[in-house]
A and B are shown apart, each in its own frame.
Chain A
């Protein structure tokens, strides 16, 4: 059974930093691209970032480019999102999601970790 368990969320002041983690199990982590998708309270889904299987290719939404960094450690089956210079508008539930079959569609999702940016 595929499991994706996010952690690292919490309350942070504007301008602060957080690192999210997503521990994966139940599949060969290194064989799949991964994504982060977020959802502000009461709002729709917003794609944040993708990373390739090896980690050599990364992609970002314009809203987070230059502030967020996606990475992965295939030896630890873990996906990361380093978030710097956080803003109030980054407040959201952050989901990690697994690529289906090298096509970018996300067929498995974690339950999310909540990030709140507020003073």
Chain B
């Protein structure tokens, strides 16, 4: 099973700042990695797939990078609606796994 480790657990930033979230895999997942955003009381929303492709309707301030075992989600300039929990997910092999999440909170 591929273990995904996300860091930091919590990121405290102000609107307008840049957010950098990390996801590390216990073994290579090639580029089969996605990022999801979840707000309280809502279902997750797909942001990035195949490590670097933005899903339909996702603003350009969200970008993903990486391959193999190290991945990054960057939010270039935080908007008020971006404060949420972010999860990475690997689709390289079954069982599918999620990281533990990074909470981006308002500083």
Residues of A within 8 A of B (CB): 35, 37, 44-47, 50, 59-62, 95, 100, 103-107, 109-112
Instruction: Say whether B55 contacts A100, CB under 8 Å.
Output: yes
Instruction: Say whether B87 contacts A109, CB under 8 Å.
Output: no
Q: Binding site of B, secondary structure by majority: helix, strand, loop or mixed?
A: loop
B85 to A, closest residue via Cβ: A44
16 additional A-B residue pairs with CB within 8 Å, beyond A50-B96, A62-B1: A35-B96, A37-B44, A45-B101, A47-B97, A59-B96, A61-B96, A103-B49, A103-B50, A104-B32, A104-B96, A105-B34, A105-B46, A105-B89, A106-B36, A109-B43, A111-B43
Instruction: Say whether A95 contacts B43, CB under 8 Å.
Output: yes
Chain B residues with a Cβ closer than 8 Å to the other chain, count: 24
Instruction: Say whether A59 contacts B94, CB under 8 Å.
Output: yes
B101 to A, closest residue via Cβ: A44
Residues of B within 8 A of A (CB): 1, 32, 34, 36, 38, 43-46, 49-50, 55-56, 87, 89, 91, 94-101
User: Which residues of A have CB within 8 Å of B32?
Assistant: 104
User: Which residues of B have CB within 8 Å of A59?
Assistant: 94-96
**Given A50-B96, A59-B94, A104-B91, are A45 and B36 also a contact pair (CB < 8 Å)?**
yes
A100 to B34, CA, bound (A): 11
Instruction: Say whether B43 contacts A110, CB under 8 Å.
Output: yes
Q: Could you name 29 residue pairs across A and B whose Cβ atoms are closer than 8 Å? A: A37-B44, A44-B99, A44-B100, A45-B98, A47-B89, A47-B96, A50-B94, A50-B96, A59-B95, A61-B95, A61-B96, A62-B95, A95-B43, A100-B55, A103-B49, A104-B32, A105-B34, A105-B46, A105-B49, A105-B50, A105-B55, A105-B91, A106-B46, A107-B46, A107-B56, A109-B43, A109-B44, A110-B43, A112-B43
